[in-house]
Amino acid sequence: MRGEFGEYVDLMPAQQRHDEHSWYQGTADAIYQNIDILRARNPEFVLVLAGDHIYKMDYSVMLADHVANKADLTIGCIEVSLEDAKAFGVMHVDENRRVKAFVEKPENPPVMPGRENTALASMGIYIFNAGFLFEQLIKDADTKGSSRDFGKDIIPSVIEKYRVNAYPFLDLQSGQQSYWRDVGTIDAYWAANMELVGVKPDMNLYDNTWPIWTYQAQTPPAKFVFDDDDRRGQAIDSMVSGGCVISGATVRHSLLFSMVRVNSYSSVQDSVILPEVNVGRHCRITKAIIEKGCQIPEGTVIGEDRAEDEKRFHVSEGGVVLVTSDMLGQRRNYVR
C-alpha cells in the first residue's frame, strides 16, 4: 500500500464490540461490529473479501462494472460445473447478469443463461454502496433468528427489491475462467501449494506483469551441501525459499518456505514446510504440512502409517498430516 496515496491497512482482531458475550456471529456481523470505523472513513463503496482464497484480481474492473450497472450490490463469481456448484452459494441470473435468486449449496444448482452444465458460484467477494451496506447490516442485526451471514441472510433478503448483479471473474484477455482457489481446509491448502510446483501452474508466481508484493525477510540464498552417494543435498520438482539449507538430504515435489533446514539422510516429499522448521537427521516426511518453527526430532517418520500419525498429529480426510509445535510438545517461537 502506498502511503502517499492515502492507502493503508488496519488490522482489527475479532473482539466483543457490543457486549461481553458477543464474538463475531457471522460474516455480516464481523463488519457490523466495526461499522463505526467504516463510517468514520466515509467511503462511497465497500469491498468485502474473504481471507482464505487465492487469486489475482483487479478490483477496479469489478468496481467499474458495479458503477456502470448502477448496482446496490455486486457479487464476484466463478463459473463451475453443476456438480461442483453443490458446494457453493449459487446465483440464478438473467441475461443482464442481474441476480434473481441466491441459494446455498443447492442439490439442483441453477444454470447460467445459455449454458447447460455451468453455474455461477459466489466467490465471497462483494462490492456494496456504502450507505446500502450500513442499512442492511443494521437491519440484519435487528432481525431475530438471523445467522448474521452475507450468503445466508443479507443477500437473499435484498435480491427482490434492490439491484444485485453478478460479476464473472474471467481473464480479461482470453475470456476464460481466472485462477481461484478456496483454501479453507487443510486438504485444499495442501493441494493449492502442490499445484505451484508443477511445470506450468495455473497460478504463475513468475509473472512480471503482476508481481506479488509482500513483506520479505532479507535472507541468504538457499544452499545445497554434500555430494556423497549416501548424503546428497538436492531438491527435485520443488520450490525452495531463501535462507534454506538442504544438508545432505533429498526434497521432492515440495515447498520449503524461508529459513528451513533439512539435515543429512532425511527426505521430504509432497510436503509444505513453513518457515524456520528444522528437520533432524534420518527423518522421512511425506504428504505433510509442518507448522512454522517446528523442530522435527531425529528419526521422525511422518506420512507413512496413518494409524501412527493419528496418535500424534492431525490427519485430514485426504490423508494430509498436519504437524504443529503443540503436537510435538514444543513452545511456539514467533519472534521473527
DSSP symbol at 152: I
Q: Let me know whether 238 and 284 are in one domain.
A: yes
Residues 319, 200: one domain? yes
| Residues 119 and 194 occupy one common structural domain | no
Instruction: Based on the fold, state whether residues 31 and 63 are members of the same structural domain.
Output: yes
Q: Provide the number of structural domains found in the chain.
A: 2
Antiparallel, parallel or unpaired: β 321-323 and 89-93: unpaired
Helices of type H across the chain: 27-32, 35-41, 59-68, 82-85, 130-141, 155-158, 186-196, 306-312
270-294 burial, b at 16+ Cβ within 10 Å, e below that, comes to bbbbbbbbbbbbbbbbbbbbbbbbb
25-34, 180-189, 206-215, 315-324: least confidently modelled range? 206-215
Question: Final residue of a domain: which of 150, 167, 182?
Answer: 182
239 φ, ψ (degrees, to nearest 5):
-115, 125
Structural domain harbouring 28: 3-182
What confidence score (pLDDT) does residue 16 get? 60
3-state secondary structure of 169: coil
| DSSP string across 52-67 | SEEE---HHHHHHHHH
Is 161 in the same domain as 240?
Answer: no
Residues 191, 136 share a domain: no
> Looking at the structure, do residues 197 and 177 belong to the same domain, yes or no?
no
* CATH number of the structural domain spanning residue 23: 3.90.550.10
Domain boundary among 165, 182, 199: 182
Environment class of residue 266 by beta-carbon count within 10 Å: exposed (0-12), middle (13-18) or buried (19+)?
A: buried
Query: Which residues neighbour 115 within 8 Å (Cβ) at sequence distance 6 or greater?
Result: none
Residues 198 and 299 in one domain: yes
Q: For 76-135, how does the pLDDT look when each residue is reduced to its tens digit (9 = 90+)?
A: 999 999 999 998 889 999 999 999 999 888 999 999 888 888 999 999 999 999 999 999
Asked whether 75 and 167 are in contact (CB, 8 A), the reply is: yes
pLDDT above 70 for 21: no
pLDDT digits (tens, 9 = 90+) for 288-318: 999 999 999 999 999 999 999 999 999 999 9
Q: How far apart are CA 326 and CA 318, in angstroms?
A: 22
The answer on 287 and 201 residing in a single domain is yes
- Rounded to the nearest 10°, the torsion over CA 81, 127, 186, 200 is 60
Residues 312, 164, single domain; the answer is no
Q: CB within 8 A of 229, min separation 6: which ones?
A: none
- 124-167: pLDDT as tens digits: 999 999 999 999 999 999 999 999 999 899 999 999 999 999 99
Same domain, 336 and 318: yes
Altogether, the residues listed in the chain come to a count of 336
182, 213, 242: which is the final residue of a domain?
Answer: 182
Confidence bin at 19 (pLDDT 50/70/90): low
Q: What is the CATH number of the domain that holds 216?
A: 2.160.10.10
Residue 336 has a pLDDT of 47
Distances (CA, A) of 324 to 21, 224, 237, 274, 277: 30, 26, 25, 10, 10
Residues 170 and 194 in one domain: no
